[in-house]
Structure 1
Amino acid sequence: MNKLGLYLRLATRNLFKNRQYYGPFFLTAAGCAAMCYIMRFLGYNDLVSTMRGSAYVQLMLGLGSFIMVFLVVWIMSYANGFVIRRRTKELALYGILGMEKRNVGAVLGLETLFLYLAGTALGVFGGALLSKLVLLLLLRLVRFEVTMGFSFSTAGAAETFAAFALLFLFLYLRNLRVVRKTSPIELLHTGSMGEREPKSRILLALFGLLTLAGGYAISFFTTNFLFVILLFFAAVALVIVGTHCLFGAGSVVVLKALRKNKALYYRPRNFTAISGLIYRMNQNARGLANICILATTVLVSVATTVCLYAGTGETIEKMYPNDLTLSVNFSDDGLTQENADAWEAPIRQAAADHGVTDGEMESFYLFAFGAQAAAGNVYTPALSAESQTADTPNLLFMTADDYSRLTGQTVTLAEGEILARGLYDSTDSLTIGDTTYHVVGEAEEFPAVNGGYSPCTVCIVVPGTNTLVNLREMLVQDSEYAPTVRRYLNLNTDKLDAAAIDECANALEAAANPAPSPDWLTSRSYVYSREGMRAELYNMNGSFVFLGIFLAIMFTMATVLIIYYKQLSEGYEDRDRFVILQQVGMSADEVRSTIRVQVLMVFFLPLVMAAVHLAAAFPILMRMVSAFGVTNTRLFLLCCLITLAGFALCYVAVYAMTSRKYYSIVKR
């Protein structure tokens, strides 16, 4: 009992005495526990699981929980590693005074237990207080009805306590391994071991430049939508490797080059700053590279998700310009006006039952495929999805009968004659594959369709459905990639509100899918509702921005922790050195100036490099958000600039707070 009492007194005293180390560790543990509880609270919340579009929200919560596991383990392992390194002399002293390693392990175990219980309890309590606010934020983002009330997730709290019990057990075993494998004399002298001057690894620095250039090149030159996401992760890997190489080997090469400049180097402030950075750059480089990568992750995740959410309204108007659009595939031998009228008759009757007139509806055949354009209006069909890029135009074909009915113009075309709009050249011919058509006039822009093709690149009016069938047969002969001719029906009315539009959409879909289905219909009829897709997109993009904010908080937490511990480490390492510098003749003002230069060089370089990474990633990020329907480059640029400015302010604030600790340590 006396031994246990001694262990308890030692553990509590150690935690209090080392509060400048354990304080941030404790707060970080509480913050991570709060985030874990909130994620599990949302996962178990009935309102989240039953809302419209809950699949998107659940997917984002699942992805966030998966990422959170790695982040929490990494953050806590980093903090624990720093604390145990700073306590090496203290642990060595216990051994020299006669405590066995098992006794030291018992004290460490009690310290770990206290931190686990207090940190996790505070985290769950804080998470419970914030959970309703976070839920309201999520519901607001997905535009779901907000309900009042408070609830506590017992299962979420239990899972958080269990997960952090495993985490702290893992950290304790790591600390125990350090104590058991190192002798007290080695522990005592660990902090006194000098750092050798790192060699100039020019080849590694060049490798870093090449990998960074490779990542940037992928961003600038990747145009195929199908490869954008896949190559984005390859670019991320290259940039991470390049960043570590440049901060490590590249910084040493640059600093040694500065040292060779006699006029620059042999000044008191530059001499101490440059020489100090050279000797400690191996340790600095790792932390600085991590800060840079974390900062870049925050900038990218927030800028892209906020842009997606801010551009949702514009995306809806572009992708879903009609209140309702119905579409169905017709067989090649079923492309007749009689069949079209037979398919449309029950649809128009269902629409009339909801107060929609024929004048508020328009129908037409549309055939579309992508093709590469060349001089002379020669178009080569894209025979696979992989062969299409962002610059591949869509060729949209409509029959003369449908075009005449939609525009009110009387159009008569002979075989081989077409009307066209948006051609590559101004010549009066158009060649597709082996067939050449004579352009006899200019077509008007075709109506856009919901859930289908955006406003067309090239509009082509052909004599009749036979031409559409011939085009399809040409594509089938060359490749399995052959789209079908579709019948579209657009509905636009100002008589129905959102709820009535949903009811009308359900009625139209039932009318458009008779049982049994005629042979000339080769697919089910689908209805695209602008109001329905508005809810879907806000659910999806709201989930994205929620995940982006969540990840930004986690990465910012890690960045603040690294900066704080780095300032502490730098302060203790510099204190004795600056005392010596004052003893050999440097004034206090010169010492403070040297400190200021060194700290600014070290801690603002990651922010500058993160801004460069964001600028280099802008092209590929723009293509990624374009794939989700946001094509407003100025909006994305504005989101990037605002995110960068906001993060820079936070970064400066963290630097200002942590640098005070650094200066207080150095001045002792």
Structure 2
Amino acid sequence: MNHKLLNKLVFRGMQKNRKTLIPFLMAGTFTVMIFYILQSLAYCPYIYYKGVEAFYGAQTIAIILDISSQITAVFSVLFLFYANQFLIKGRKKEMGLYGVLGMSKKNITYIMTAETILYALISMAVGMMTGTFLNKLMLLMLYKIIGQRPVEGLFFSTKAFGNTMMLFGIIFACCLLHNVRSIRVGNPITLLQSNHTGEKEPKVKIGIFLLGVVTLAAGYYLALTAKTASEAISSLFISILLVVLATYCLFTAGSIFILKRLKKNPKFYYKTKNFISVSNLMFRMKHNAAGLASICILSTGVILLLTCGCSLMMLGEKNINRLYPTDVKIESKVTGVEQGQREITQIRSALKESGIQTSEEVYRQYKTIMLRKDGQKQTYADPDMMYTDMGSCIDTYLLSMDDYNKYVGTNEKLSEDQVLIYNSDKEWKSGEVLDFLGKKYAVAGNVDYRVTSYVLDSTMSLFESEILVFASEAQINGFLEQVGQQEDEDYNVYIGYQTNGALSKEQQELFTQNVNAVLTDVEIHFKAEERHFFYNIYGGAFFVGIFLAMLFLMATVLIIYYKQMSEGYEDQRRFQILSNVGLTEKEARKSIQTQVKLLFFLPVGAAMLHMMVASNVIRLFLRMVLVVDAKTFGMAIAAVSIIFLLVYILVYHITSRTYYKIIHTKSC
């Protein structure tokens, strides 16, 4: 057949199917743009390039961007295949007509190949052109979030360009192979009648329904019963997998079960709008279920990503103050009080030589031991077995009463069988009994916050933390000897200083050099510098989270749109038949509203339920590296959920009108 005629058919087919084609091209363009921007920023010299950091912490941001681009790549494959399914479904009748009119399968393959090449070229060209222009804007936005000065100049990444071309070239090629196969294996008459193929009333799949109930209960149980960060690690991903599986099972089998129950209720079922909606959904739920479950999972992902990002930024300063209570933080190990005092003297000299003036000095020394808990009983945790059951381990700090009195300015006394206690996961009350290494101690009170803010090691937040104050140093040495440690085990030392005014870069470098010249094995941290690093890392994570949330939100909207279009065309003939037998436009509109509201708000309702249950385990998971209080996290969930729901309602109004217009358009 003449290639000129075939090319005309290509453009005519694209114009005729623009209602489904334009959203597909938008999806392709958007995913190309997101992937290209993330890849381009990952290899940008203004962030990290060839081993050189543009600013402190830039390498970590580049790694986050690269990982996020890989997530986007996987998502793009799944999503574009999903969108392609709807696109080819509407073209089968057209291709069947070509076959009936005598066109060969070779000619049909040519048309589909030409169309796919055009789709790919439009998506990649527009996506990368838009990405190139937005790349600088996104870089400036990232710099704004992390508090960096804006940079001048543009950068075009050939590596990002090549990776984008290769990935989406493969995706569109695979879509083409799938489309050609689905058209060539069927005969023209079958393809022509594909839109009129009837479906049997679905049956309730009891096995899948029960599997959904069991996996949902198990996933919720794991999320709600997690009490520590280590438990959250072991249960988070398992609970996510269980809830995802349960969502698909319950939307597939559970929805049919509910509709069957509604059908058996005569008071509900034998009303015009309910009769039509339930009957229509009964035959469509087999295909709707997977889409609705996907919308639910994607909606949960959007809310989760934005909630975590918002809560991280809202709690930024609180976390910096926890990690670095003083402007200058020095950590080391000493063999005794005398060595600790010598270190303080040497550090004071280094401060003076560096021109740093201080207003407050903090000194804390303590010994540590890892314990394993069983209720109120605590035993020694074997280091070789510690990571096999992290949920029961306690990172314990031991102080003598004499040191404690110095730190808080008191003059309290403890008997040999009493202890002061602080525990990160439990509030002990006076009079309770603690079984510590086989001996019972009465809790005399709680440890003052002025000790906890300096003693606790933030890098050990994976474990439950505890501070114990005993009557004497001899008791502590006895405990260490009991578990096989030496009596002269080094003390951990925290030395901190509040400074008068901000420190210059030169002062920080000079102080570090002066301290390292006289002391070994010390770690020096400056709060201002660490604050900068903190906002760089978590600001970068927040930036990437916004990108991924936008991607998931776009997927959610387009899946809804495609489903409304698909269901509208499939239901068009049914409503025309009902209209011919007396269904009024008012009754049709009510029925449509009932059906569309159910299809829309069931997934988002389930998503918000998932998020509320997951909030406990997500907050614990974040506690590994951050302070995430329940109130702030709850506020973030509420704010993000309200904004998401408003966007979702807007999409509902737009797509429901589209669905209604399709229903009341006379078919040819």
TM-score (normalised: structure 2): 0.89
Structure-1 separation of matches of 2:33 and 2:371: 53
The answer to whether the aligner puts 1:397 opposite 2:398 as a matched pair is yes
Q: Are 1:170 and 2:169 an aligned pair?
A: no
Cα-to-partner distance string for 1:57-77 (whole Å, 9 max, x where unaligned) = 022112111101111111111
Q: Percent identity?
A: 30
1:423-438 matched pairs, under 5 angstroms: 424-427=428-431, 432-435=436-439
Residue 310 of structure 2 corresponds to residue 306 of structure 1: yes
Contact persistence 2:564–2:659 (CA under 8 A): yes
Q: Do 2:364 and 2:455's aligned partners in 1 also have CA atoms closer than 8 Å?
A: no
- Contact 2:304/2:611 (CA < 8 Å) preserved in 1? yes
User: Measured at CA, do residues 312 and 508 of structure 1 come closer, stay the same or move farther in structure 2, by a change above 3 Å?
Assistant: farther
Which of 485, 499, 522 in structure 2 is aligned with 1:493? 499
| Distance in 1 between residues matched to 2:204 and 2:466, nearest whole Å | 55
Partner of 1:460: 469
Report the 3-state secondary structure (helix = DSSP H, G, I; strand = E; otherwise coil) of the residue aligned with 1:476: coil
Aligned-partner SS, 1:627:
coil
Give, in whole Å, the separation in 1 of the partners of 2:165 and 2:514.
52
SS of 2:99's partner is helix
Q: For residue 12 of structure 1, what is the aligned residue in structure 2? A: 11
1:446 partner letter: V
Contact persistence 1:205–1:250 (CA under 8 A):
yes
Question: 1:472 pairs with 480, 488, 503, which one?
Answer: 480
| 1:244 to 2:244 alignment | no
Indicate the residue corresponding to 1:187 in structure 2.
Answer: 191
> Which secondary structure state, in structure 2, belongs to the residue aligned with residue 197 of structure 1?
coil
> What's 1:550 paired with?
547
Aligned residue-pair number: 647
Q: What letter matches 2:478 in structure 1?
A: N
- Alpha-carbon deviations, 1:506-541, whole Å to 9, x = none? 236514644xxxxxxxxx221233223212221221
RMSD: 3.0
Shift of residue 146, structure 1, vs aligned partner? 1.6
Rounded Cα–Cα distance in structure 1 between residues aligned with 2:479 and 2:631: 39
Structure 1 residue 583 displacement after superposition: 1.2
Alignment of 1:366-377 (within 5 A): 366-369=366-369
- The alignment status of 1:638 with 2:635, answered yes or no, reads yes
* Alpha-carbon contact 1:325-1:450 (below 8 Å) kept: no
Cα distance in 2 for partners of 1:266, 1:297 equals 38
Alignment of 1:90-489 (within 5 A): 90-330=94-334, 335-356=335-356, 360-369=360-369, 379-383=378-382, 384=386, 389=391, 395-399=396-400, 402-403=403-404, 405-406=406-407, 416=416, 420=420, 424-427=428-431, 432-435=436-439, 445-446=450-451, 448-449=453-454, 452=457, 458-464=467-473, 466-476=474-484, 485-489=491-495
Q: 1:558 to 1:460 in 2, by over 3 A?
A: same
Q: Distance in 2 between matches of 1:541 and 1:277?
A: 45
Change (3 A) 1:572 1:355: same
Assess if the C-alpha contact under 8 Å between 1:502 and 1:532 holds in 2: no
Q: Is the 8 A contact 1:417 1:440 kept in 2?
A: no
Shift of residue 460, structure 1, vs aligned partner: 1.1
More moved, 652-661 vs 599-608: 652-661
- 1:436–1:206 CA distance, 2 compared to 1 (3 A): closer
- Counterpart CA distance in 2 for 1:442 and 1:539 is 36
* 1:667 is aligned to 2:667: no
Structure 1 letter corresponding to 2:367: F
Q: Which amino acid aligns with 1:468?
A: I
Work out whether residues 204 and 249 of structure 1, in 8 Å CA contact, stay in contact via their aligned partners in 2.
Answer: yes
| Amino acid across the alignment from 2:476 | L
Spell out, residue by residue over 1:483-509, the C-alpha distance to the aligned partner (whole angstroms, 9 max, x if none).
963122222222443636633652365
How far did 1:345 drift? Answer: 3.7
- Give the whole-Å Cα distance in 2 for the aligned partners of 1:598 and 1:191: 21
Change (3 A) 1:280 1:484: farther
Instruction: Write out per-residue CA displacement over residues 62-102 of structure 1, whole angstroms, 9 at most, x where no aligned residue.
Output: 21111011111111111111111111111011111111111
- Structure 1 residue 404: Cα displacement: 5.5
Q: 1:72/1:357 Cα in 2 relative to 1: closer, same or farther (>3 Å)?
A: closer
Tell me how far 1:413 sits from its aligned partner: 8.4
| Mapping for residues 616-631 of structure 1, pairs under 5 Å | 616-631=613-628
Distance 1:532 1:476, change over 3 A: farther
- Relative to structure 1, the CA distance from residue 500 to residue 592 in structure 2 (aligned partners, 3 Å threshold; closer, same or farther) is same
Deviation readout 1:13-71 (Å, 9 max, x if unpaired): 11111111111111111111111221121022111112210132022112111101111
CA contact (8 A) 2:401 2:471 kept: yes
CA distance in 2, matches of 1:167, 1:429: 64
**Inter-partner Cα distance in structure 1 for 2:601 and 2:413:** 70
Work out the CA distance in 1 between the residues paired with 2:443 and 2:305: 48
Amino acid across the alignment from 1:397: L
The aligned counterpart of 2:648 is 651
Per the alignment, do residues 450 and 125 of structure 1 end up closer, same or farther by CA in structure 2, a change over 3 Å counting? farther
Cα distance change on mapping 1:410 and 1:119 into 2, 3 Å: closer
The question of whether the paired residues in 1 share the 8 Å contact of 2:202 and 2:282 is answered with: yes
Q: In structure 1, what residue type is equivalent to 2:397?
A: L
SS of equivalent to 1:280: helix
Task: Evaluate the alpha carbon distance shift between residue 631 and residue 474 of structure 1 in structure 2; reply closer, same or farther with a 3 A threshold.
Answer: farther
Deviations 1:214-273 (A, max 9, x none): 111111012232241332111111111111111111111111111111111111111111
Distance across 2 between alignment mates of 1:663 and 1:28: 24
TM-score, normalised with respect to structure 1: 0.89
| Alignment check: 8 A CA contact 2:421 2:428 kept | no
Provide the rounded CA distance (Å) in 2 between the counterparts of 1:282 and 1:474. 65
User: Deviation of residue 432 (structure 1)?
Assistant: 2.7
After TM superposition, the structure 1 stretch with the greater mean CA deviation from structure 2, 223-232 or 579-588, is 223-232
**Within 2, Cα distance between the matches of 1:174 and 1:6?**
25
What is the CA deviation profile of residues 354-398 of structure 1, one whole-angstrom value per residue up to 9, with x for unaligned ones? 2456873333421234657799x86545553555549x7765333
Structure 1, 497-506 or 122-131: larger mean CA deviation: 497-506
**Contact 1:417-1:438 at 8 Å conserved across structures:** yes
Moved more, 154-163 or 74-83: 154-163
Gap regions ≥5 residues in structure 2? none
Show the counterpart of 1:582: 579
Shift of 1:418: 6.9
| Alpha-carbon distance between aligned partners in 2 of 1:585 and 1:501, rounded to the nearest angstrom | 87
| Counterpart amino acid of residue 2 in structure 2 | K
1:518 maps to what in 2? Answer: none
Q: How far has the Cα of 1:419 moved from its partner?
A: 6.8
Distance 1:105 1:413, change over 3 A: closer
AA partner of residue 451 (structure 2): F
Say whether the 8 Å CA contact 1:365–1:399 is kept in structure 2. Answer: no
Q: Which one of the candidate residues 560, 564, 588 is aligned to 1:591?
A: 588
1:35 aligns with 2:39: no
User: Residues of 2 paired with 1:581 and 1:405: CA distance?
Assistant: 86
Structure-2 separation of matches of 1:483 and 1:595: 75
Cα separation, partners in 2 of 1:185 and 1:505, compared to 1, 3 Å? farther
For the residues of structure 2 that align with 1:35 and 1:339, how far apart are their CA atoms? Answer: 56
Mapping 1:54-73, distance limit 5 Å? 54-73=58-77
CA shift at 1:618, angstroms?
A: 1.3
Q: CA deviation at 1:446?
A: 2.0
Hey, what's the Cα distance between the residues in 2 that align with 1:428 and 1:580? Answer: 76
